[in-house]
C-alpha cells in the first residue's frame, strides 16, 4: 500500500531521470561549433521543388487532369531555372547539385511528359505507342548522363543537343494546345503529328545540334548578350499574356533557331569542302 502511494505521489519521475541522463551524456560529448548551412542548400531546395512538381504531375495524369499536369511541368521548369540562377548567385554550384538536378529533370521533363503524351494520344496504338511514348524519357536519360560526364562547372552559351526541359515543355505545349494540334492533324491528313513530334524531339536530345542555353544572372552577361536576354524576357512576357499559345510559339521559335543554325553550318561546311577539293 505504502509503495503504491509513494509511486503515485511522484509523477514524472521516469521523465526526470531520463532528462538527467541525457544532460549528463551531452556534457561528456566534445564541444562542437555551430553548424553552417551549406551554400548548395538553397538551390537544392528549388531542385527538390522541381522534382515535387514532376511527382504531382504524374498523379494528375493518373486522375485524368492532363491540363493541370501540364501546367505543373511548366512550374517545375521555373524551379529548374531558379535553382541554376540561385546556385550562380550564391556560388553554390557543386557536383551534388548537378546530380540532384539531373535526377529531378528526368522525372519532371522525361518520365512525366512521356506518361502524359502516352495518355494524351499514343495509348490507342498499343505497344508501338508505349515504345514511342517512352522515347523522351529514354533519350532524356542519355542526354543528362552525357551532360554530367562532360560537365565542367560552368555552362557555356550553347548545349549540345536539345535540353530535356525544353523537350518536356514541347510535349506540354502540344497537350495544352490540343485544339490547334487537332486542326493541324485534319489539315495534313493521315500523318500522325504526335508520333512524329515525339520522335523528332527525342532525336534532337541525343543529337549534337547546338541549342542556346539560359541566360546567366549577371550584369556582364547581360551586357555581352543583350539581344539574347531581350528575346528570353520577351518570351516570358508572351507566356504570361498568351499562356499556352505563347508557350507553343516561343518553343517553335527556339527549335527553329537551333535547327536552322545547324542546317546553315552544315551547308557551309559542305561548301568549304567543295572549295578545298574542286573537281
Cell numbers given for 30: 566534445
Q: pLDDT at position 225, please?
A: 82
Domain ranges of the chain: 41-209, 222-279
The mean of the pLDDT values for the chain is: 85
Query: Tens digit of pLDDT per residue, the chain (279 long)?
Result: 444 544 554 556 666 776 777 677 666 766 555 555 566 678 899 999 999 999 999 999 999 999 999 999 999 999 999 988 888 777 767 788 888 999 999 999 999 999 999 999 899 999 999 999 999 999 999 999 988 887 665 667 788 899 999 999 999 999 999 888 878 777 776 568 889 999 999 999 999 999 998 877 777 777 888 888 888 899 989 999 999 999 999 999 999 999 999 999 888 888 877 666 665
Q: What CATH number does domain 41-209 carry, 3.10.580.10, 1.10.10.10, 3.40.50.12780, 1.20.120.1760? A: 1.20.120.1760
> Under the phi-then-psi rule, with left for phi > 0, alpha for psi from -120 to 50, and beta for the rest, what region is 195?
alpha
Alpha-carbon dihedral 60, 61, 66, 70, rounded to 10 degrees: 70
Q: Which residues make Cβ contacts (< 8 Å) with residue 228, sequence separation at least 6?
A: 212, 215
Q: What is the pLDDT of residue 11?
A: 54
Residue keyed to cell 552577361: 221
Q: Report pLDDT digits (tens) over 89-128.
A: 777 677 888 889 999 999 999 999 999 999 998 999 999 9
What's this model's pTM, rounded to 2 decimal places? Answer: 0.82
The per-residue DSSP string of 215-241 comes to PPSSHHHHHHTHHHHHHHHHHHHHHHH
Closest to 101 in 3D by CA, of 147, 57, 68 = 147
Cα(262)–Cα(224) distance, integer angstroms = 23
pLDDT of residue 187: 74
Amino acid at each position: 500500500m505504502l509503495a503504491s502511494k509513494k509511486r503515485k505521489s511522484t509523477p514524472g519521475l521516469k521523465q526526470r531521470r531520463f532528462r538527467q541522463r541525457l544532460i549528463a551524456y551531452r556534457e561528456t560529448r566534445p564541444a562542437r561549433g555551430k553548424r553552417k548551412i551549406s551554400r548548395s542548400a538553397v538551390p537544392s531546395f528549388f531542385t527538390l521543388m522541381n522534382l515535387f512538381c514532376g511527382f504531382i504531375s504524374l498523379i494528375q495524369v493518373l486522375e485524368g487532369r492532363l491540363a493541370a499536369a501540364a501546367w505543373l511541368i511548366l512550374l517545375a521548369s521555373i524551379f529548374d531555372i531558379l535553382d541554376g540562377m540561385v546556385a550562380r548567385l550564391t556560388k553554390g554550384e557543386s557536383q551534388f547539385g548537378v546530380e540532384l538536378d539531373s535526377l529531378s529533370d528526368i522525372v519532371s521533363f522525361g518520365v512525366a511528359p512521356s506518361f502524359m503524351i502516352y495518355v494524351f494520344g499514343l495509348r490507342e496504338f498499343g505497344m508501338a505507342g508505349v515504345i514511342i511514348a517512352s522515347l523522351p524519357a529514354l533519350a532524356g536519360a542519355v542526354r543528362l548522363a552525357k551532360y554530367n560526364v562532360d560537365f565542367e562547372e560552368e555552362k557555356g552559351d550553347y548545349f549540345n543537343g536539345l535540353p530535356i526541359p525544353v523537350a518536356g515543355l514541347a510535349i506540354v505545349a502540344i497537350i495544352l494546345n490540343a485544339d490547334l494540334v487537332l486542326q493541324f492533324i485534319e489539315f495534313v491528313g493521315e500523318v500522325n503529328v504526335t508520333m512524329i513530334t515525339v520522335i523528332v524531339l527525342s532525336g534532337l536530345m541525343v543529337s549534337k545540334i547546338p541549342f542556346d542555353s539560359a541566360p546567366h544572372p549577371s550584369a556582364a552577361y547581360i551586357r555581352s548578350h543583350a539581344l539574347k536576354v531581350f528575346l528570353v524576357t520577351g518570351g516570358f512576357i508572351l507566356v504570361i499574356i498568351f499562356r499556352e499559345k505563347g508557350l507553343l510559339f516561343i518553343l517553335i521559335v527556339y527549335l527553329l533557331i537551333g535547327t536552322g543554325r545547324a542546317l546553315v553550318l552544315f551547308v557551309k561546311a559542305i561548301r568549304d569542302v567543295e572549295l578545298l577539293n574542286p573537281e
